[in-house]
Each structure stands twice: as structure tokens, then as C-alpha cells.
Chains A and B, each alone.
Chain A
């Protein structure tokens, strides 16, 4: 074998230079099990967009051979860790990268079997689009509904139903329509605003990248065409301005002796020089007098730009504060109600001392109530009233006798949390960028749960009398 030689193709050069000026970025997540052909679909997207390189393919071929041979298993491309290859399972979210001339994609590949809830919630939290896979022979299954419900819970704005293995049902239109109609109706009942169904075969490549000649009855986009066409970043722009302060910039250098700026990323919305803003939770009002970056000042910044804001008055602003438009009504309080997905082996304990992380702020907190739990298999909600101190348990108790009102790994439940100090409480339903939070164990820093402030899918499935039935309507998507 000789040394690697790289072929130069002069035409590529001009192509790459023009690409990078306008190409944008879409984050997406896939949900489905190996049985649905998820690994094959991802392998197909990577392969057909030329994102799999020769040495990666030959490594997969070698691994296939070492395991007894047979057809090259594209699933091995996406199996990262030794334990996963040995056990033939996927443990964790893996991130994949592929791109076309107009768009780059960051794909969170979430496993369908083990710890599916924890992993899907993680992958869906940053996704603007979710691909839910079904096998055309099997149609909408319990797990399809589960995947759709987590997508709805995390408010992923766009969902693609990939009806896979169409080659095994002779590309039958009626089969596809029945599955698409059933899923779309179900997704609508969960409040998912945008569903696109695509009939495809990951194995043969039909309608994944290239349009299939075998589905003349289908006039919609191929999967990749749709991924390229979905609008990016619209929901973050349409939400009201929020700016969680990360660090205070005070150089105190000879060149900048008195500079004071507040560095952060615009979480949602737009801010302009001259805008009146309020610092929360203190409530102090001031005006934006400058938007600075290393590359020069801006007159306007929008989500998700990282900038440094200068303010008119010498107000007290620190990491953890949030700048909001002065004219807006913003909920600030120290009683947090919401839905959490439990992510740790340690179960929830009523009365436990926790840390709540929202935006750039971390506050001490007490878990006061767990008053409902969502069964993701049946999508039914078990709800109960009030504080249930009888069932407060020791988190180190790992016996299989799960207390009825505790949350365990992968459980989704409704909680009430008392905070040691007031913070901005943006409803996740209308503020996807600032309405999420983490529960952290102060003892060892473990991330115990991920939460969404306010009413969520869980409340939609089991509304309490005080809930606004119309919660999804205000989402602005």
C-alpha cells in the first residue's frame, strides 16, 4: 500500500468558496429502532451526501468480517463504543454531520431501545426537526406514538414521518396513505404543528436523496429535499427578546479603562441599539447603547448571535440575570411548576434539596411535589393531589419496589419546585429557548432531570381545571 495521495479537482474549489457564504445549519434528531432501518437511513444520508469516507467504510468492512462476515453492516458506521458493538445496542446519543451545497446538518442519532426517553429528550431538545421512522409493513406502532409524544413534549417544530421499507410493500400508495393519515391525525392531537410524510426505502435509496421512479403517485419532496427546504431558526426569532448574561466584560486595560459590557447569546428575538430593556429579576430599567463584537459594532442582534451589550446606566448586572424588553410582561417568581424527564439512576425524593439551572442562573431549590406521571407506553397520565410525604424515600434505596409517587430513570412527571430566590419563569410552550431547566444534585453535580416550565403535553393529556386548554395556540409557530 502506498502513501495516501489526494486527487485535486479544480472545479471543487470554486464550489466550496461559494457554498460557505450562504450555507445555513439545521439541527435534527432521528427516532426509531434498528428494526425500522434507522441506521440504514442514516448510513444512506451520510453515504449519498458523500459524508462517509473511504477509511471509515473500510473500517466497517473489516469490522463486519471480524464478526463473521456477511453483508457490510452500515449500522456499524454509527456504533461508537466498544460496549455497544459487543452488545449490539446503542447506549447513547451520537452526533453525525453531513451537508449539501445549501445546508449543513447536525443530526442527533438517538437509540430506540435502551433509555430511549432520556436519549430522545436530549436529542430533541436542540432539534428543529425530528424524523420519526416507521416500517411500512408494520405501520404506526406503540413506539411510534411514544416517539411522537416526546417530539411534542420538547416542542420540535417540524416532524417528518419517514415511511421506510416501501420496497417491501411494492411501493403501494394505499399503504403509505393509511400510515401517513393515521400518524398525522395522531400528531395533530398532540399539538405537533407541521408533519410531512415521505414514502421511502433507505436500503434502495428511493426518495431519500433522489426521487423514486417507483412512486409516481407521490409528488412531495424527497427526504433530503425536505430537510433542505425547512426554514431554520424561525421560532427563535419569533419569540420575544431574551438575553441571559453569561459574563461581565471589564478589561480595565490602558486602552479600555472604563469599558463595561455584558456578554451573552441572544436566546430569542431581536435587540437593537436604543431599545429599552429591563434587568430581571431585579427589575432595573435601562437602555441598550451599544452592541459590540470583536469584528465591530452592530446596530441590531438576533438569535442565536453571541454579542456583548453595553447599557446606558451603571445598573447592577451579573451572570444569571436576563435582559428582556421593558414593555413586555414577564413572569418572575420563586414557585416553579412544570414537567420533568428524570435522567438519573437516583430516583426523585420529595423535600430533596436541589439546584435548578435556568439559562445562566443556578438557584437552590426544594422539590415540593410530584403530582402526575406520564406513562409513555400507553400515553396515559396518572395524577394525584397534594404533597405525598408518606412516599418520600431515600434516594439510595435501589430496591425494585418503586414508590408509587417517585420519578425514576426515564419517567416523565409534573412537579412543583420552591426556589430560594425569584427567577424569570418563561413558559416552555412559548419560549423554547429559555423555558427549559435542569435539576442538579448539589452533592455530586449529577444532572437529575430536564424540565420544561409551565403547561406541556402532559397537561394536554390530563388537563387540570386551572390549566389553559389553549396552551399550544400561543406558540407562534
Chain B
């Protein structure tokens, strides 16, 4: 028996970071044209941070793609553009507005553009011939995601077929695919919401300001505080009021709710998330409340 070296086991965050870096390097080694989906949300920001670590001192060897619903928080777009410039990255924008203008998708009666993102996303992947698409999805988010692979094969229609997924053993990720197919890759698969926040704290990663407590005009719809905007809120029956809020997730303005919060620093947010009795999607995402299998259905169609 070999004598054990004195090295202690990695901490949880070090282990998760090392796994995420390993996944990113596997993609760089196996694929021709990877792309990182970047929404300006905390998960995609952490992914970008891992990518910078994985290839240092080389620059990040792939582009970012933002699926732009047109209903963005201005703070998030400002953050996106600043980060892209700072790190010399290439940004591809897949626009929902463009897809509406040329008739690929139709505006919905409720004004939400969240479900409309799938078509421009898939068109953006096809037009740019991306073969690996990094997503910030985590298995703790939702029960259909709990069975997601790190490397998730999508057919030429971008569809996810849970029965066609490949078993993943050890750290051997099989990224082989036929022309026209692509692979979604989830380097944060094993992270929880709290892990993401603890990592942001440890690494001192800057986030868009809307993640922290601020005063905002909001109105209540379906039990969620939504921000007003050109997308169709508030209705005459809905009252605008000023609340002290922050966002737990960043998505389309029409379906991303704010939570009432006074947490204005990372440790305060961590304390709040740790004490919360609601998952982030349950608390802030109208799109996931639609049905028991809402996420599963959207994943099958090619959603993030």
C-alpha cells in the first residue's frame, strides 16, 4: 500500500470548480465550434469565469451567444457589453425581435417572449454551425433537469430525447454526434444555487446590480412582482408600487419575478438563499409554474 500524501481532499467548491474546468477543456479538445450561452445571469457569469480559468493564459477560445428577447433589464445589457469588451470576447446575439419580424415566431397574447426563445436559439446554433453549446443549467433546478447529462445530445431539430441520452461513466464524456446534431454541455450540473453564490463570494465575481436589493416600481401578477415595460405590463387592473426587491434569476422581464429582499451584499444574499423555503424557479419563474412537466416539454423542444 502506498503511503498517503498529506494533501487534504479538495473543498466542495474546489471540487466543483475543477470538474467544471475539466468539462470545458473536454469540449475545447473534442469540438470544432463551441459557444457559451450568456444571458447575463449569475450561472452564465460563473460559466464564463470557469472558461477564463480553464484556458488561461490563453483567451477564452469560443464565442458567447445571447438570446435576446428584447425585454431585457438595461442593467444586464450594460453588464454584458462591458464584460465582452473587457475580455475581448466575440458576442453573437440571437434576437427574438428579428424572429418575430421575419415571421419565424409569432408574438403571444400574454406578451411573454420567454417561450419564443427556442426558435432563435436553434437558428443561431444552425447559422453559426455551433456543435457544442454551453448552458448554465443545474440539476438541482428542476426535476426534469435532475436526469440531464453533462453532455446532452440534441438531434437536427434541437430536440432532447431523454431515452436517447448516453450513459455517462467516470469522467469520460462522449461528444460524438452526426452532422447537424449538436451537444448541450452543462459544466455546472452538480452545483446548487447556494454553491453558485458561495463561489461568487469566494471569487469576488461582479454581477449585474439587479441581483442585489434595490427600490423598484413593480406590480403583482400571479403572485409575482413583475417590473413594468413595453412587453405589456401592468394591465389597468394592476397597481404599480415601489418595493425593496432583488432578482434571484435573470431572464425575460415578462416572466422573471423579483423577490422582496433587503440583501444588498453577497453574504446577505447567501444568508437569504440558505434560509429560503422556495426554489429559485418556484419563486421567480412564471414559465415553470405552467404545468407539472413544463420544463420537460420545453427541454424536448430544444430550450436551454
Binding site for B on A (CB under 8 A): 1-10, 12-13, 15-17, 20-25, 53-56, 59, 62-63, 66, 77-83, 85, 91-97, 99, 103-104, 106, 118-119, 121-122, 125-126, 231-234, 237-240, 246-247, 249-251, 253, 255-256, 259, 263-265, 270, 292-295, 300, 302, 304-306, 308, 319, 343, 355, 357, 359-360, 433, 436-438, 440, 444-447, 450, 476
Contact = CB atoms under 8 A, between A and B. Distances in A.
B17 to A, nearest CB: 8
B18 A9 contact: no
Give the size category of B's interface with A. Answer: 35 or more
Interface in B151-194: 153, 162-163, 165-172, 174, 176-178, 189-190, 192, 194
Interface stretch (B3-11, B76-84, B105-113, B229-237): B3-11
Contacts of A121: 167, 169
A450 B169 contact: yes
B241 to A, nearest CB: 11
Given A263-B25, A306-B22, A306-B25, A97 B192 contact: yes
B139 A91 contact: no
A6 B13 contact: no
A293 to B, nearest CB: 7
A305 B10 contact: yes
A78 B139 CA distance: 12
B286 interface: no
B277 A16 contact: no
Interface stretch (B47-55, B67-75, B118-126): B47-55
A54 B282 CA distance: 9
Contacts, number: 261
B188 to A, nearest CB: 12
Interface of B: 1-2, 4-5, 7, 9-19, 21-22, 25-26, 28-29, 52-59, 139-140, 143-144, 146-147, 153, 162-163, 165-172, 174, 176-178, 189-190, 192, 194-195, 198, 201-202, 220, 223-225, 257, 259-263, 267-268, 270-272, 274-279, 282-284, 292-293, 296
A107 B140 CA distance: 11
Contacts of B7: 237, 270, 300, 302
A234 B4 contact: yes
B2 A3 contact: no
Given A8-B262, A304-B18, A259 B57 contact: yes
11 contacts: A13-B268, A25-B9, A80-B296, A81-B162, A246-B25, A249-B56, A259-B57, A304-B18, A357-B172, A438-B172, A440-B174
A295 B1 CA distance: 34
Given A5-B260, A7-B275, A17-B270, A55 B283 contact: yes
A263 B54 contact: yes
Contacts of A23: 11-13
Contacts of B174: 357, 438, 440, 445, 447
Nearest to A27: B190
B59 A445 contact: no
Nearest to B192: A97
B21 A306 contact: yes
Given A126-B169, A292-B57, 11 more contacts: A2-B223, A3-B259, A20-B11, A83-B162, A92-B147, A95-B189, A233-B9, A237-B4, A246-B26, A265-B25, A295-B53
